[in-house]
Amino acid sequence: MIRVHVICEGQTEEMFVNELLQPVFLAKKIILVPALVGKPGRKGGNFKFERLHADVEKRLLGDSTAYCTTFFDYYGLPQSFPGKNAYAADADIQNKALAVEEAMTKELQRLLGDNPMRRFIPFVQMYEFEALLFSNPIAFAEGIDRAHLAKPLQAIAEQFTSPEHINDSPHTAPSKRIEALINDYEKPLMGTLAALEVGLRAMREKCTLFDAWLKRLEDLSADGSGAQ
């Protein structure tokens, strides 16, 4: 069984790994081990590089047979995070995501060395976890028992090339759009219920960067060398 430590930004991402990803990857003989970034007991958010560095070091050096990956939002990263300021706000999402992933990996490599970093698989979600829920707005609305919101959610999704393109301004990020429609939106619970209803297949079909990350993880079972 191949072990992959998944450093998550918050409880919603942690639950998502356990509820949606874990069953799929266990079938491929890969066990995902999610954990919130930073100290035990924290709720998530405030994804500073220093906290990430400590967690990656712990996972890669403390478990020399396992891989390590990340699952956090681009939107919430501080401007000081490696690669965050590489492109303008309206740049292509693939360029922006790659800039953060490469800069983050390069800095971790400088701190930890080349050998353990061969087992590191970087990923940053564009722009937020909530974007994945827009892969099927009707299922999203049904999952949180708000069927009447299917049309407004669909209208949001139709404005963008893909769910991953829903922009990251403080007023129009995916979560902000949801909160404008649902004033009692509870991210961990409702986000997970919606994700279960939307399903992984729809997310992978609509979100190419997310799908590419999962493919890299799946490749570990094929040759045991998915980390670069």
Confidence category of residue 38, pLDDT binned at 50, 70, 90: confident
C-alpha 184/C-alpha 227 separation (Å) is 40
Query: pLDDT tens, 135-150?
Result: 999 999 999 999 999 9
Q: Indicate if the pLDDT at residue 87 is higher than 90.
A: yes
The pLDDT confidence band at residue 170, using thresholds 50, 70 and 90, is confident
Question: Contact 195/142 with Cβ under 8 angstroms?
Answer: no
Span 184-199, pLDDT tens digits? 999 899 999 999 999 9
Name all domains of the chain by residue range, CATH numbers in brackets. Answer: 2-127+208-223 (3.40.50), 129-205 (no CATH)
What is residue 48's predicted lDDT score, i.e. its pLDDT? 87
Over residues 203-227, the pLDDT tens digits come to 999 999 999 999 999 999 876 554 4
**Region 7-12 average pLDDT:** 93
What distance in Å separates the CA atoms of residue 155 and residue 177, rounded to the nearest whole number? Answer: 11
The confidence score (pLDDT) of residue 150 equals 98
